[in-house]
Amino acid sequence: MFQGLSDKLQETFKRLKGKGKLKEADVNEAMREVRVALLEADVNFKVVKDFVAKVKERSIGLDVLESLSPAQQVIKIVHEEMITLMGGATGKILIASKPPTVIMLIGLQGAGKTTHAAKLANMLNKQGKHPLLVACDIYRPAAIKQLQVLGEQLKLPVFSMGQESPVEIAKASLKHANSNGQDVVIIDTAGRLHINEELMGELRDIKTAVKPHEILLVVDAMTGQDAVNVAESFHKELGLDGVILTKLDGDTRGGAALSIKAVTGCTIKFAGMGEKMDAIEPFHPDRMASRILG
C-alpha cells in the first residue's frame, strides 16, 4: 500500500536528515519533492497545495530551523499534518438508543458494498450485536445470492424479498428485525457503474423510508481521485456519515485515502483490507501516516 509515495517521501527525508543544519532553501527543496510525490500518488491538487503550504509555514519558523534536529522537526510536522488531513474520529458505528440501528451501505458497482455489508455484520456480531443483512440490490440477481452465501458462511440472517421494490424491502426488514430480536440492520443497496439520477432517487427513497443512523459510502481506493469525486457527489445528494475505503490491501497509490476527508469533509471510518470476512479495520489516520512515512 502506498509504496511509491512512501519510498519517495522517505528518500526526501533521508536527504534532509543528512544535511544537519537546515536553511529555508533546504525546506523549500524538500517540499518541492513532497509536492511531486503527493501529486504522483494521485492526491487532489488543491489538497497538495494547502498541505505543502502549511508544512512550509510551520517548518520555516525560527524554532524549527534553529533546533538541534531540524530535519526531525520537519518530518514530525509532515506527520502531524498528514494525520490532520485524514483526521477525525474513526472506526465507530453510532449505535441507536432504540434498536434497531440502521446502517445503509451505498456506492458504485464493484466498490465492495456486498462484501463490506457482510464484513460489518461479522464485526458487529463479534462485538455482541445481532445483525440482520438486507438484500436491496435487486438489479443484479447475483448480489442477493452473494449476500445469502456470505450470511450462511457467517451464520448470520439475511433478509430478502427477491425483486420487490428496494424501499419495500428496506421497510419490511425493520419490522422483521424488530420481531426477531435483531438490533442492527445492514442494508446492501444497489450500485450502478456511474452515478445517475435513478440511483440517487432510489437511495433517497430508502433513506426517507428507514431513516438510517449511518449512511456509509463504500469506495474503492484503487480508483484514486474518482473515489473522491464519487464521495463528493454522494455526500451532496444524501449526506454521508462516513466512508468505507476498500481494497487498501491492493497496490493503491494513496490519493483517495489522503484526499477524501480534506475534499469532502467525510470521515473515513473503516478500511477494507482484503476479500476475507475479517479483513476490515477501523481507519486510523495516525497509523496510516506512520505507514506512509515509515
Cite the annotated binding site for GTP by residue number: 107-114, 188-192, 246-249
Query: Using CB under 6 A, which of 198, 275, 278, 290 touches ligand GDP?
Result: 275
Q: What does each C-alpha distance from 50 to 70, 71, 141, 162, 229 come to in angstroms?
A: 22, 21, 45, 49, 19
Question: What cell does 178 get?
Answer: 424488530
**Rule CB under 6 A: is residue 281 a binding residue for ligand GDP?**
no
**Rule CB under 6 A: is residue 247 a binding residue for ligand GDP?**
yes
DSSP 64: H
Q: Which among 207, 252, 230, 255 is positioned nearest to 102, based on CA atoms?
A: 207
**Rule CB under 6 A: is residue 223 a binding residue for ligand GDP?**
no
DSSP 286: H
Task: Write out the E strands in the chain.
Answer: 101-106, 131-136, 158-159, 184-189, 214-220, 242-246, 268-272, 280-282
- Encode burial over 119-140: b for 16+ CB neighbours within 10 A, e otherwise: bbbbbbeeeebbbbbbbbbbee
Piece of the chain touching ligand GDP by CB under 6 A; list 8-16, 178-186, 199-207, 273-281: 273-281
Q: Rounded CA gap, 123 and 116, in Å?
A: 10
What is the SS3 assignment for 18? coil
Nearer to ligand GDP, 84 or 109 (CB): 109
Q: Which residue type does 87 have?
A: G
CA dihedral (256, 258, 264, 266) in degrees, to 10, reads: 100
- Per-residue binding string, ligand GDP, 168-207, x by CB under 6 A, is -----------------------x----------------
DSSP 263: H
**Rule CB under 6 A: is residue 251 a binding residue for ligand GDP?**
no
What H or E segment, with its residue span, contains residue 41?
none
Piece of the chain touching ligand GDP by CB under 6 A; list 47-55, 77-85, 173-181, 269-277: 269-277
Closest approach of Cβ 271 to ligand GDP, in Å? 8
**Rule CB under 6 A: is residue 269 a binding residue for ligand GDP?**
no
**Rule CB under 6 A: is residue 249 a binding residue for ligand GDP?**
yes
Closest approach of Cβ 111 to ligand GDP, in Å? 4
Nearer to ligand GDP, 99 or 110 (CB): 110
Annotated binding residues, as ranges? 107-114, 188-192, 246-249
- Per-residue binding string, ligand GDP, 85-124, x by CB under 6 A, is ----------------------x-xxxxxxx---------
**Rule CB under 6 A: is residue 254 a binding residue for ligand GDP?**
no
- Residue ranges that bind ligand GDP, judged by CB under 6 A: 107, 109-115, 191, 218, 246-247, 249-250, 272-275, 279
